[in-house]
Amino acid sequence: MKFGICTELMRAPLLAELGFDYIEGNLTVLAQMDEKDLFAAQKAVNESGIAAEAFCCMLPGDVHLTRPSEMPWVAEYVKRAFSRAKNLGAEVIVLGSGGARRLPDGENADALTPAFELICEEAEKQGITIALEPLNCGETNIINSVSEAVATAKKLDATGIRVLADLYHIEKESEPLSDIACAGDLLVHTHVAFPATRVFPRPDDGYDYSKFFSALKAIGYDRRMSVEAGCDDFVNDAALALEVLKSAEAKAL
């Protein structure tokens, strides 16, 4: 399995030195970069020897995917953002963005369908896969479990949309790890953190990460896993996290 970290693109050379396989950038930040910052980010990634194979944080928090009036802006935004990401090596873009997809009172999930279809259409044009991320109910009021993400992806029936499994959100929602099995071939990306406090995994944190890997191995998943978490000392904590994840992968049944 490939391992990466969700962090700023300028850290790509550092991640490569630490032994990570790729970097996961922030799409909102990338989309808002001026030409000078974009050039610097591209240079850092290109010189690192690893690619920005994934991006999270697809949309700004003040966007509302249920509002038809905002769709022209969303269409232009994803066209520009996806193009920039693709140039940096993106294969997967995570659709988490809990604020953007939150349903207003009285709306149902169908209110999101036009926006999701628009996003998927642009992703398909640019050869990118969208990974729909289940978020805990404290962050959004829809698609809070892997099983819900799978149902949504199947309902949309678009080649550009697949599913993500995030250990933090799974544990936050008390969703059984066995539910990952329902994703099957739809699972294209994963996120990991120490579930109790959402920090980088550490050898002494007491969590058995091999359980997560076992659930993934059961469906033949062997793609990417990004650490999406906070830390105190990036270099030290990143090195320890990679050690923990590789050990857990080897231990998994």
Question: Both tokens of residue 15?
Answer: 């991640």
Q: Is 79 helix (H, G, I), strand (E, B) or coil?
A: helix
- Cα R_g (the chain), whole angstroms: 17
Question: Both tokens of residue 106?
Answer: 């009285």
CA distances from 86 to 48, 83, 91, 125 (A): 17, 5, 7, 11
Amino acid identity at 209: Y
User: What pLDDT, on a 0 to 100 scale, did the predictor assign at position 125?
Assistant: 96
Per-residue pLDDT tens, the chain, 253 aa: give them.
999 999 999 999 999 999 999 999 999 999 999 999 999 999 999 999 999 999 999 999 999 999 999 999 999 999 999 999 999 999 999 999 999 999 999 899 999 999 999 999 999 999 999 999 999 999 999 999 999 999 999 999 878 899 999 999 999 999 999 999 999 999 999 999 999 999 999 999 999 999 999 999 999 999 999 999 999 999 999 999 999 999 999 999 8
Tokens 């058995």 sit on residue: 208
Cα distance between the two ends of the chain: 15
Please give the Cα distance from 65 to 161 (Å, whole number).
16
55: β partners: 25, 93
CA distances from 81 to 87, 93, 123, 245 (A): 10, 10, 10, 30
Spell out the residues 6+ positions from residue 239 whose beta carbon is closer than 8 angstroms to its own.
Answer: 18
The percentage of the chain sitting over the pLDDT mark of 70, rounded to a whole number, equals 100
User: What pLDDT, on a 0 to 100 scale, did the predictor assign at position 191?
Assistant: 98
User: What pLDDT, on a 0 to 100 scale, did the predictor assign at position 33?
Assistant: 98
Please give the Cα distance from 29 to 199 (Å, whole number).
21
- What per-residue string of b and e applies to 89-111 under the rule 16 or more CB within 10 Å gives b? bbbbbbbbbbbbbbbeeeeebeb
User: Full-prediction pTM beyond 0.75?
Assistant: yes
Give the up-direction half-sphere exposure of residue 162: CA atoms within 13 A in the CB hemisphere: 21
94: β partners: 131
Q: Is 233 helix (H, G, I), strand (E, B) or coil?
A: coil
pLDDT in tens, 231-253: 999 999 999 999 999 999 999 98
Spell out the residues 6+ positions from residue 143 whose beta carbon is closer than 8 angstroms to its own.
Answer: 101, 132, 133, 134, 135, 149, 152
